[in-house]
Amino acid sequence: MSNTVLHATDADFDAQVLASDVPVLVDFWAPWCGPCKMIAPALDQLAADYAGKAKVVKVDVDQNQATAMKYHVRSIPMLLVFKGGQIHSQQIGAVGKAQLAQMLDKAL
């Protein structure tokens, strides 16, 4: 399994996230979003820390509006943890690495 942040699109979201056999932290973001850029390094670290146990996937809301609409993304960054194809927890707004790790830990 990759120890880097993955990128999902409308086309492969179900395969990458919903069908995953490990929990997935999904970051709904956009290139113009300041707080999204702020949490990017934490997401990179989490992807490495949780390699093999969980995945970190980013979805660009500008490029993948169908997925963003499906999950009612109204403000970004919005982070959802999926487990077994279901939303396990969510966080709206930028938070620190520790808080994101806690979300993943609860899903493991």
To which H or E segment does residue 69 belong? helix 65-70
Q: Is 22 labeled as catalytic in the residue annotation?
A: no
From the candidates 24, 25, 33, 80, give the one annotated as an active-site residue. Answer: 33
Tokens linked to 84: 């077994």
Length of the chain: 108
* Set 8, 25, 36, 57: catalytic member: 36
Whether residue 33 lies in the annotated active site: yes
Cα–Cα distance measured from residue 67 to residue 70, given in angstroms and rounded to the nearest whole number: 5
Q: What SS3 state is found at 89?
A: strand
Contact 88, 38 (CB under 8 A): no
Q: Which residues are marked as active site?
A: 33, 36
